[in-house]
Homo-oligomer: A and B are copies of this chain.
Amino acid sequence: MTTIYEVAARAGVSLSTVSRVLNGKASVNTEMADKVKRAASELRYTPSQKARSLASKYSHAIGVVLPNKNMLFSSHLLFSFEHILRQYQKHCVVAFSHDTLESENEAIEFLLSQGCDGVFVTTIASNPIASTTQHLQDKKHRVVALSKSELKGGVTGFSASIFEVAAYAFTQLRDLGHNDIALISDNSELVSHTNDISPALKSALSRLSTTGSASFRPELSVYVGSENTDDPLLDLLARDATFSALICTSDTLEQRIVSSAKELGMELPYDLSIITAQSPDSPLSTSKSTLSYSVSTVAYSTLDIAKVAAHYCLSTFYEQAAGEDTIDSTLPMSTAPIFLDYGSTVSFT
């Protein structure tokens, strides 16, 4: 193991100079810096993270708490998350929860005790964040959470919930010229008891409307159907609902709608445009490519979620305000990034 002393000796300077050059903190004489750099590369010097973490405030380790459920989703998320953070010389320490509040807290404590600078909690499946707030209160600044619903108690984080995805589906359809849109769901996050769209969805809609490209259209009419019947589509039509587009909230529901539409002699997507708003933690089906009809899927992209998460972690755990544009911004970034996901999606024609 080659140390900083050896580099200093070879470059003929003091070790503090070497440290400065390699960390780029203070300003150094150019030629000295060159000598140091040369010496370092010649000796293939790699700073010891162990010593570095002891001496400095940071270990550059970020903990990630993963759920036991929805492994496919979370591993894709982890993939992107690690990829981004490695570019910042951060490494990811993982610990799985078993989808209980207790095991999740155990995992957080474990990661923190192992010296992580902070922890990213992705256990959105069981969504214990809200109730665990008490426990996280004192270590707020060391935990970033990804939740299905809104975060409470001032815990840093963001939510990737179905209503934001659904709202995006609405705007997509609206931008395509649809003014009469139906939504079939029994999800209480989307549909309220009065069989109307939920307040959460409404606010998500208005958020998107103001930032969206198209102007807000108040004349948009929305029909809400329940998926809890034999034939949701027929049921909705029987209520004199007239709509040219329809949003459903799961793959299985979509299958039913499509076959039902075909039985009714409808042509897709001419008579009816169908779009599936996929929940972030639902197992993303990859069999879409076999569909012969035109159906769109809108869902969170794990890459985008990872970008936001990385942003939050970097700015929460470190001074380093790795701004929205510091991260590769081929894609825009916001608190609620929404994107078509997985190439298997068939787009509108």
Contact = CB atoms under 8 A, between A and B. Distances in A.
19 contacts: A48-B54, A49-B115, A50-B53, A50-B59, A51-B54, A53-B54, A54-B54, A61-B93, A61-B114, A68-B79, A71-B75, A71-B76, A72-B72, A74-B75, A75-B78, A86-B95, A86-B110, A91-B110, A94-B94
Contact of A82 (B60, B61, B96, B115): B96
Interface in A59-110: 59-61, 66, 68, 71-72, 74-76, 78-79, 82-83, 86, 91-96, 110
Contact of A54 (B50, B74, B92): B50
A242 interface: no
Given A50-B50, A53-B54, A74-B75, 17 more contacts: A46-B113, A48-B54, A50-B53, A50-B54, A50-B59, A54-B54, A66-B79, A71-B71, A71-B72, A71-B75, A71-B76, A75-B78, A78-B96, A83-B96, A86-B95, A91-B114, A94-B94
Interface in A36-58: 46, 48-51, 53-54
Interface size class of A (residues with CB under 8 A): 20 to 34
B75 A115 contact: no
A48 B115 contact: yes
Contacts of A68: 79
Question: Which of A74, A92, A96 has the most CB atoms of chain B within a 10 A radius of its CB?
Answer: A96
Nearest to A51: B54
A82 B54 contact: no
Give the interface SS of chain A, mostly helix, strand, loop or mixed: helix
A298 interface: no
A191 interface: no
Contacts of A66: 75, 79
A78 B94 contact: yes
A107 to B, nearest CB: 9
Contacts of A115: 48-50
A162 interface: no
A111 interface: yes
Contacts of A82: 94-96
Given A68-B79, A75-B71, A75-B75, A49 B96 contact: no
A91 B91 contact: no
A51 B86 CA distance: 23
**Highest count of chain B CB atoms <10 Å: which of A83, A111, A115:** A115
Contacts of A93: 61, 91-94
A319 B227 CA distance: 59
A71 B79 contact: yes
A46 B66 CA distance: 24
A78 to B, nearest CB: 7
